[in-house]
């Protein structure tokens, strides 16, 4: 999948509109300066939109496109192309391909393909709520998506640009469901556009299999995506498996489970559960002492002695000494929550003493704020800000639990996950709310999580770890 | 350490955890674990003269398996805080992971090269390959900030900020950058393969 930086041009400068509204234009500066700032590599594909042209219907920013094409960039340009002459003007400027929106639904598309060849034409299809839109997003098209793609295929056009305009510029994530639907509708490769906010979105798009390129606009301009890092992640995307982690909430030497941290019931013997989960393919195990009393250190020891996968332990860790004792009991990593919120330096101290890989920040989020003492007490600390801070202080990973969703089986809180994963570089474990197989996919695909955690689903044998891993693999997400 | 001993026992080894240099010098098989810093580990090996004991054992034909930092210690040097000399049993050096992906690497990663590796023979002694029975692309658990890259003794590679040496072997000296004791059945299989090496 190619990463295609997008430059929207207006009055000779790079701008961004929100929801296609000219009144919202935010100016980023001169096109070439912007390219230098973003470190766009030579030979890269570039998506250029002449906004004025899309409004007025004739090419305006031709001199900029000419300069960009001379910089060894493969430029595709769009904006109000309504005739063969318009298209020819852009191609004469050095554009490699032209992007046609409104024209894609008219007879002009046939004429363009006949004149310039299907390789040089990219139909741009704007979709809102599953309906194709044209003409600067203002009008509903007479064609359905399926009809449009049948036409594109019959013209032997290899690629189409598909934008979910309800997502564009909103950084709320690409429309994975739309692109997945297109996979069953058409063989045409899709250039995804709209909503990309984090490098995890790019990895997720690449995994869909039908996405040949991704246009990145606002996220790049706002510095949320680094092109080098994104390219490295894409190159390694099949190497690093995403993890499935069963969680044992323990009390008095037994596994227990509740709903939203209350109504606790017995769910089995920790060692038996742990061994079963490893045999099912669990990539890691989490033990949380739900009383935060550290009475379960013996349970930790017994579990650690019975498994050969990494073990993360949390609950009631108040000091460097507690941390050390938990590692000695056999934990590989230790999760801190309440004590770190009360004294953030604890994260830095543990990180310096035991290494960043040993420190997990456990963040229990309730309505966007951090909860402590096992969800019993709400602080005024913003959960996303706290996760960012914890990363700076030296946490190696974040275990992010939605208290609201915990034990409800209503699905992970994707919005919360996105808010955190798009702002930190360290991995985030999604926790709280797993119910259906697709929930696990969504937490990784749309939520950007690097691991998914569940408790009651596995304890109650509603699903096995193996079921989840097979489902993720079928959805193109690499697992061990 | 406790975890590695437990995993080795689960893989069928009879073993002794020791820091006694003469016991090490006379051992048939050695496992050198290591976590934390290369410098601190190397200092300790030098002060206790275990470094010389390991070299002596290897020169007598003992098999040696280095794990994680123990694997890194097998090489000539590490650039951790300047340059620190290692045991020098394998050619090459250990460098910090450079690149856009976050360091340390924490987690599972796929290892390639396993079954493609032919048995290496040293004199009369045949060492079965460490990855016998393990499919290419099997994931192992890694936690590290430094790695050897493209060394001559590389028998398996993984990708993280570019390819790096996941396992190395020269004669009866083996090293694995991952943690076999945390890598479930695949990890135990590697340990069994080492134990089976005659």
- Give the pLDDT score at A134: 61
List C-alpha distances in Å: A202 to A96, A225, A226, A250: 24, 10, 11, 37
> Which residues 354-413 on chain A approach chain B with CB closer than 8 angstroms?
355-357, 396-397
**Residue B2 predicted with pLDDT over 90:** no
Catalytic annotation present for A364: yes
For residue B137, give the chain A residue with the closest CA: A239
Q: Is A305–B6 a contact, with Cβ atoms under 8 angstroms apart?
A: yes
Cβ–Cβ gap B104/A357 under 8 Å: yes
CA-based nearest distance A417→chain B, Å: 19
Q: Is A253 helix (H, G, I), strand (E, B) or coil?
A: coil
| pLDDT score of A139 | 57
Helical segments of A264-382, H only: 270-280, 297-304, 320-328, 338-342, 345-354
Residue B122 pLDDT more than 50?
A: no
State ipTM.
0.90
The whole-number mean pLDDT for each consecutive block of 10 residues of chain A, a chain of 480 residues, reads 95 87 91 90 92 88 92 91 93 95 82 96 87 61 83 95 78 89 95 91 94 94 89 76 95 81 79 96 95 83 96 95 95 96 97 93 97 90 98 96 92 96 93 96 96 93 96 94
Taking an 8 Å cut-off on Cβ atoms, the answer to whether A310 and B2 are in contact is no
- Determine whether B179 is an active site residue: yes
A304, A308, A480 member nearest B108 (Cβ): A480
pLDDT attached to residue B112? 85
Cβ distance of A232 and B100 shorter than 8 Å: yes
Mean pLDDT confidence for B43-49: 95
Q: Is the Cβ pair B3, A425 closer than 8 Å? A: no
Residue in the block written with tokens 């109650």: A460
**Are A308 and B107 in contact (CB < 8 Å)?**
no
Minimum-distance CB partner of A278 among B3, B160, B184 = B184
Gap from B179 CA to chain A (nearest CA, Å): 10
Q: What pLDDT was estimated at residue B124?
A: 34
**Sign of torsion over alpha carbons A8, A11, A16, A22:** negative
Partners of residue A139 on adjacent β-strands: A134
Interface of A with B in 261-300 (CB under 8 A): 278, 283
Query: pLDDT category, B46, cuts 50, 70, 90?
Result: very high
Nearest to B182 among A232, A309, A427 (CB): A309
Supply the mean pLDDT for chain B: 88
Between positions 90 and 119 of B, the ones with CB within 8 A of A are 99-102, 104, 106-110
Q: Whole-angstrom Cα distance, residue A60 to residue A48? A: 12
Q: Is A228 on the interface with B (CB under 8 A)?
A: yes
Residues of A in contact with B185 (CB under 8 A): 308
CA distance A285 to A312: 6
pLDDT of B119 reads 42
pLDDT score, position A186: 95
Measure A285 CA to nearest chain B CA, in Å: 11
At A141 the pLDDT is 64
* Interface residue B181 vs chain A (CB under 8 A): yes
Task: Dump pLDDT digits (tens) for B59-89.
Answer: 999 999 999 999 999 999 998 778 899 999 9
Say yes or no: A226 contacts chain B, CB-CB below 8 A.
Answer: yes
Angle at A203 between CA A201 and CA A208, to 5 degrees: 95
| pLDDT at residue number A237 | 63
Asked if B102's CB is within 8 angstroms of A355's CB, the reply is no
Q: Which of B7, B100, B110 sits opposite A229 (nearest CB)?
A: B100
- Name A477's Cβ contacts closer than 8 Å, sequence gap at least 6: A207, A242, A441, A444, A445
pLDDT digits (tens, 9 = 90+) for A28-51: 999 989 999 998 888 899 999 999
What is the rounded average pLDDT of the residues B17-25? Answer: 95
For residue A358, the model assigns a pLDDT of 93
Q: Does B187 touch chain A (CB under 8 A)?
A: yes
Residue of B10, B101, B106 lying closest to A232 (CB–CB): B101
Q: Which one of A233, A283, A356 has the shortest CB-CB distance to B104? A: A356
> In A160-267, where does DSSP find H-type helix?
176-185, 199-208, 218-221, 227-235
Contact B140, B187 (CB under 8 A): yes
| Token pair in block for residue B152 | 């001559």
Whether the predicted pLDDT of B156 surpasses 80: yes
Q: How far apart are CA A254 and CA A426, in angstroms?
A: 32
DSSP one-letter string for B107-157: EEEEEB-TTTPPPEEETTEEEPPTTTT--TTEEEEEEESEEE-S-TTEEEE
Which residues in chain B are contacts of A425 at CB distance < 8 A?
Answer: 102
| B112 tagged catalytic | no
Beta bridge pairs of residue B52: none
Identify the DSSP state of A358: G
Across the interface, whether the CB atoms of A233 and B104 are under 8 A apart is answered no
Dihedral pair phi/psi, residue A127, rounded to 5°? -125, 130
């Amino acid at each position: 999948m190619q990463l295609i930086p997008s430059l929207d041009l207006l009055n000779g400068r790079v701008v961004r509109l929100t929801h296609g509204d000219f009144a919202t234009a935010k100016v980023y500066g001169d096109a070439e300066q912007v390219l230098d700032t973003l470190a766009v590599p030579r030979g890269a594909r570039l998506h250029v939109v002449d906004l004025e042209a899309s409004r007025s219907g004739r090419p305006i920013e031709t001199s900029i496109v000419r300069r960009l094409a001379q910089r060894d960039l493969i430029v595709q340009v769009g904006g109000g192309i309504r005739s063969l002459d318009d298209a020819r003007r852009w191609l004469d400027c050095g554009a490699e391909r032209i992007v046609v929106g409104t024209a894609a639904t008219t007879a002009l598309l046939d004429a363009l393909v006949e004149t310039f060849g299907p390789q040089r034409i990219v139909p741009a299809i704007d979709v809102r709520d599953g309906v194709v839109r044209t003409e600067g997003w203002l009008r509903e098209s007479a064609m359905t998506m399926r009809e449009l793609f049948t036409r594109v295929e019959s013209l032997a056009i290899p690629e189409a640009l598909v934008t979910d305009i309800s997502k564009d510029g909103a950084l709320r994530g690409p429309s994975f469901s739309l692109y997945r639907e297109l996979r069953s509708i058409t063989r045409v490769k899709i250039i995804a556009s709209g909503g990309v906010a984090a490098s995890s979105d790019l990895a997720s798009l690449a995994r869909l299999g039908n996405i040949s390129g991704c246009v990145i606009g606002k996220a790049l301009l706002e510095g949320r995506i680094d092109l080098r890092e994104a390219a490295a992640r894409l190159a390694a995307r099949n190497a690093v498996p995403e993890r499935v982690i069963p969680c044992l909430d323990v009390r008095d030497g037994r596994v227990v489970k509740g709903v939203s941290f209350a109504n606790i019931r017995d769910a089995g013997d920790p060692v038996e559960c742990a061994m079963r989960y490893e045999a099912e393919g669990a990539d890691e195990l989490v033990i949380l002492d739900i009383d935060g009393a550290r009475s379960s250190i013996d349970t930790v020891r017994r579990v650690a002695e019975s498994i050969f996968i990494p073990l993360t332990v949390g609950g009631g860790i108040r000091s460097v000494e507690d941390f050390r004792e938990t590692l000695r009991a056999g934990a590989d990593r230790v999760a801190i929550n309440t004590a770190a919120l009360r004294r953030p330096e604890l994260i830095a101290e543990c990180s310096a003493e035991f290494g960043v890989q040993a420190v997990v920040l456990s963040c229990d989020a309730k309505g966007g704020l951090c909860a402590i003492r096992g969800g019993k007490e709400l602080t005024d600390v913003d959960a996303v800000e706290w996760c960012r801070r914890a990363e700076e202080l030296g946490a190696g990973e974040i275990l992010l639990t939605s208290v609201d969703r915990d034990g409800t089986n209503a699905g992970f809180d994707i919005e919360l996950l996105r808010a955190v994963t798009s702002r930190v570089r360290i991995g985030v474990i999604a926790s709280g709310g797993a119910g259906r197989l697709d929930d696990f996919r969504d937490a990784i695909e749309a939520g950007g999580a690097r691991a998914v955690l569940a408790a009651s689903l596995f304890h109650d044998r509603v699903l096995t770890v193996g079921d989840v891993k097979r489902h993720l693999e079928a959805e193109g997400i690499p697992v061990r | 350490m406790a975890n590695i001993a437990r995993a080795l026992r689960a893989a069928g080894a009879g073993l002794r955890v020791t820091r006694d240099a003469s016991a090490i010098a006379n051992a048939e098989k050695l496992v050198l674990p290591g976590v934390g810093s290369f410098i601190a580990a190397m200092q300790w090996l030098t002060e206790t003269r275990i470094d010389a004991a390991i070299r002596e054992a290897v020169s007598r034909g003992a098999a040696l398996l280095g794990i994680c930092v123990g694997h890194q210690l097998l090489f000539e040097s590490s650039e951790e805080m300047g340059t620190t000399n290692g045991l020098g049993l394998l050619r090459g050096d250990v460098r910090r992971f450079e690149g856009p992906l976050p360091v340390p690497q924490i987690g599972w990663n796929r290892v390639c090269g396993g079954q493609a590796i032919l048995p290496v023979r040293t004199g009369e002694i045949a060492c079965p390959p460490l990855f016998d029975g393990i499919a290419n692309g099997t994931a192992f658990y890694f936690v590290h900030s430094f790695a050897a890259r493209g060394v001559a003794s590389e028998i398996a590679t993984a990708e993280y900020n570019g390819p790096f040496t996941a396992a190395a072997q020269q004669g009866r000296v083996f090293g694995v950058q991952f943690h076999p004791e945390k890598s479930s059945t695949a990890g135990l299989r590697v340990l069994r393969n080492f134990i089976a090496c005659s």
